[in-house]
Amino acid sequence: MAQSGVVCKAWAVQQVALSVFALTIATLTLILAARRLLHLGSQLVFSRLIAVGGMVAFSVERSQAAADDEYTVRFEIGGPGVFHNVSVQLVGLTGVDLDHTPVPPVRRHTMSAGDAPIEWTFTVPDPESADGAWILLTWVRPYLEGIDSEAIAQRLGQDQLYEWRWYSETTRYVRTGLQRLARRYPQRSPEKLRALPLYGRWRRTSSSSRIDMLGPADRPPPTPGPALR
């Protein structure tokens, strides 16, 4: 009987060891699978943001003359990407007759690195008319089997740049459900949820400029110290 008890105990220890080993193998498999998925996702993000191509330099600058409400828009492209239907719009300008509204540049059907930048100088009647105005620049680019529309914007007199980001199909479905639920029960939901945007949003992004394209070309190397001479 004692010998049978020892055999049973040994068998139980062996089963526990095998279970721990199997659990370890399963955990490692899940970790490797998650790492692979993360790598594929990173590659997709890279191909979307970088490999699709194109770096933009966009600026809206006001004239240095204090009495002159003049603005200059500049848009330039670098990198391998090709932009299509590039257009500039002045939106939200108030107190200006239609006949005196600044006329933006003609739409560029295609634009890529090396092409002449879009430059547009215009004036507004007074600072108040430009308080709620902004410059909107839109274009389309090939993405996967179709095309994708993109946009950047900047308010007059401000340095902060915004880029438009479309929501994914899954995110749109979720937001649509939340919005409908909030509107069905308005007393129990905040206004922000009832007015939830469904298709995309503006988000702040780092300002792009020509310096970003030049890289080290506009800066000399550091002066060597005494030990390097």
Q: Domain containing 60 — which CATH number?
A: 2.60.40
User: Do the domain assignments include residue 223?
Assistant: no
Residue 52: predicted pLDDT = 46
Residue 88: predicted pLDDT = 94
Q: What is the DSSP letter of 186?
A: G
- CA dist 203 and 12 (Å) reads 59
List pLDDT tens digits, range 84-99: 999 999 988 876 666 6
- CA dist 151 and 140 (Å) reads 9
Q: Are 22 and 85 part of one and the same domain?
A: no
CB half-sphere exposure, 222, CA atoms < 13 A: 4
Q: Are 37 and 131 part of one and the same domain?
A: no
Q: Are 47 and 59 part of one and the same domain?
A: no
Domain boundaries, position 154: 55-215
Within 10 A of 137 (CB to CB), how many other CB atoms are there?
A: 20
Is residue 29 over pLDDT 90? no
- CA dist 168 and 199 (Å) reads 8
List pLDDT tens digits, range 109-145: 999 888 999 999 988 877 777 778 899 999 998 777 7
- Give the DSSP H or E segment for 163: strand 161-166
Q: Are 87 and 168 part of one and the same domain?
A: yes
Q: Are 30 and 94 part of one and the same domain?
A: no
pTM for the model stands at: 0.65
List pLDDT tens digits, range 159-174: 788 888 888 888 888 8
Average pLDDT score over residue span 181-196: 85
Dihedral class, residue 204 (left if φ above 0, else alpha if ψ from -120 to 50, else beta): beta
Q: Are 83 and 26 part of one and the same domain?
A: no
| Average pLDDT in the chain | 77
Range 99-126 burial, b when 16+ CB lie within 10 A, else e:
eeeeebeeebeebbbeeeebebebebee
Q: Are 44 and 65 part of one and the same domain?
A: no
Residue position matching structure tokens 């620049």: 137
Which pair of tokens denotes residue 31?
A: 């970790």
Q: Are 117 and 162 part of one and the same domain?
A: yes
Q: Are 94 and 106 part of one and the same domain?
A: yes
